Amino acid sequence: MTVLRAVTLAPAVLVSFVLTVVVCALLPPALGLAAFMAAGGVLVALALGQLQEPAIAALTRSRPATEAELRVMAPVLAELCGRGVDIGALFVRRIQRPSTPVAVSIGRRTVVVSPGLVEATFRGAVTGAEAAAALAHAVGRREAIRPRLELAVLAATTPWRLMVATFRGVGRAFAWLPFMRLAWTLRGVVGVICVVQSVAEDRAWAGLLGGAVIALTYLVPAAGRRIELHTEAEADQFVLSLGLGPVLAGLLRRYAHSMTLERMQRLETAVEQPQRPRLHLVHG
């Protein structure tokens, strides 16, 4: 997992640093230096555990839960607390999209939930146990990864995520063009040709750089998928240890969430509870 996380994080940190330097260089010298120093100061503060709430609100586009939302989610939080899962703060996202996660654990015992989960819990479409299972799964995901300097890393890689989102939007806009998918599929062949041609022309560094970039388009997604599978399995086991595995499985099935047969079997496995010692009366 350490190697896989390094494969996914190293390009993001490097590209984000380069983009930040380029943007600051385009500004007037005094303003660019001030912006670079301010960005570095924010990262240091986040690494030291400061600015937690504003950072979570900005990075996840969320806000602290209102009193009405806390009243709705209070039984859910009490259910989790009774099972040994302590959630310190609850945030609610400002905007919900189809790809928005139902719940995400971030920072120091903070969980960010979608407004849809709060509304569904209030209406009774999602039971308290099901909402607790969703929040527990989010906590289990973070426990599986145990990220270090989580908020600082998220803030530092914001330029990378913005760039990826931009390229994905452009790709979707031009996906209708003929042979676009074929061209992306054959990018490995283009990379090999780039390396061979550059070496033949005594420009090996340029070819190797282009080939490395194309290789990363294979390595980073593959590493991300492996991390996702491992994290999901560990989070499922965490939910199962709390006795909420079948509840989570029922919730996912009801909302037609894609699940493999292995995951369904994993979530619905009954956890054997330790038997309590019995008292026997001894008659004299």
Residue 37: which H helix or E strand, with range?
helix 29-47
pLDDT at 204: 74
What mean pLDDT is reported for the chain? 86
The average pLDDT across 40-51 equals 91
User: Could you tell me which of 68, 66, 88 has the C-alpha nearest to residue 77?
Assistant: 88
Top-confidence residue, 66 or 275: 66
pLDDT (average), residues 95-107: 88
DSSP per-residue codes, 225-244: HHHHHHHHHHHHHHHHHTT-
Would you state the pLDDT for residue 63?
A: 94
Looking at residue 266, its pLDDT comes to 84
Q: What pLDDT was estimated at residue 271? A: 53
User: What is the arithmetic mean of pLDDT over 85-112?
Assistant: 90
Q: Per-residue pLDDT averaged across 229-256, rounded? A: 90
Q: Which of 73-82, 117-126, 200-209, 267-276 has the lowest mean pLDDT?
A: 267-276
